[in-house]
Amino acid sequence: MKWPTTVFSNTADALPRRGLLLLLFVLAMLASALPPLVNAQGFFQNFFSGQHHAAEQEAPPLGDAKWFHERVEAAHCTQYLCPRTLSCVSSPKECPCPFPQQIACAYADLESDDGGDHGKGSGPGAGAGGTICVTGTECGQVQKLLRVGSGFKLKDL
């Protein structure tokens, strides 16, 4: 069988056709590689969202007090059980913040005469009062707001 002369009349026409075939081959290879990449993406999303992390607790269903009550009952704490994180600590002022990007800023109890130092977060010397968790690097803004609202009393609620 003799090939028609118009198909490959010269080598200049053969080069673009070979390039087109090579391009089609590369596209076919990429298309065959996509399904495993999509599966890998799902794996990493599940892995980093904590679904495969044994130490993570499942999120509570919204409005389900039973979920929280079960966890409080299951906690083995002989000292103080922090209400936001369910951590067991020696006093309420030592409760950690629920999120790692937060810092605990101590505040003085405005009802008592114990003033205390409330500028450096929670810890010894913070006086009567408690802590508030804020996102930031220092407690200056919290202290400023506490001074502005110093006439506010919790019993007024």
pLDDT 10s digits, 74-104: 888 999 999 888 999 998 888 999 999 999 9
**Contact between residue 84 and residue 95 where contact means Cβ atoms under 8 Å apart:** yes
Q: What type of residue is 89?
A: V
Q: Does the pTM exceed 0.95?
A: no
Q: What is the CB neighbour count within 10 angstroms for residue 142?
A: 21
